[in-house]
């Protein structure tokens, strides 16, 4: 594999000068280069079709994507793309998504805990108060001597019983068992 030509983009992406490359083999230019790039070129020539590879390149300190195109007879044109910024952005996006998922889970748990606390508070304060009030009204009915007072007491009991039921319903809606 011998370099016949390179353009300015190659010089920029690969951080080499044209005169350091032309007429030399891939192994001469990149003695410590990653095997994936020479394998890509060989695969394109051997199979006589396009090939693609990507990965981190310690030689250039970048994340590269390369596409090799077979050009008869036995030549290959290779385009290298520096995907370092894209890869870093994708990684940062993935990290942000994971943080967002964690925050959403914590928010859901916090919301559920708050709902349970509100439901318990309603049950303990309002529910017990209504039941106590209901007992007092029943006692008042039992002590009443006239029919009008007893009827008024029964109506109050029905209203309080309705409030107790509405309170139970609200508690179950806030925090189902």
Per-residue pLDDT of the chain (177 residues; tens, 9 = 90+): 788 999 998 888 888 999 999 999 888 988 888 889 889 988 998 999 999 999 999 888 899 999 999 998 888 999 999 999 999 999 999 999 999 999 999 999 999 999 999 999 998 999 899 999 999 999 999 999 899 999 999 999 999 999 999 999 999 898 887
| CB burial of residue 14 (10 Å; 0-12, 13-18, 19+) | buried
Contacts of 112 (CB under 8 A, 6+ apart): 175
Residues 67, 78: contact at Cβ < 8 Å? yes
Q: Is 54 left (phi over 0), alpha (psi -120 to 50) or beta?
A: beta
- Helix axis angle for 147-174 and 84-121, nearest 10°, is 160
**pTM greater than 0.75:** no
């Amino acid at each position: 594999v011998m370099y016949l030509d390179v353009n300015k983009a190659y010089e920029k992406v690969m951080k080499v000068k044209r005169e350091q490359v032309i007429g030399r083999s891939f192994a001469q230019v990149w003695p410590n280069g990653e095997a994936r790039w020479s394998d890509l070129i060989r695969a394109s020539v051997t199979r006589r079709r396009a090939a693609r590879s990507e990965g981190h390149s310690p030689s250039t300190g970048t994340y590269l994507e390369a596409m090799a195109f077979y050009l008869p007879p036995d030549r290959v044109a290779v385009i290298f793309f520096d995907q370092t910024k894209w890869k870093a952005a994708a990684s940062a996006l993935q990290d942000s998504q994971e943080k967002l998922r964690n925050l959403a889970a914590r928010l859901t748990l916090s919301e559920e805990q708050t709902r349970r606390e509100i439901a318990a508070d309603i049950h303990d304060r309002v529910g017990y108060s209504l039941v106590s009030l209901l007992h007092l009204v029943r006692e008042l009915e039992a002590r009443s001597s006239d029919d009008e007072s007893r009827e008024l007491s029964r109506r109050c009991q029905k209203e309080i019983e309705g409030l107790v039921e509405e309170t139970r319903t609200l508690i179950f809606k806030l925090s189902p068992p």
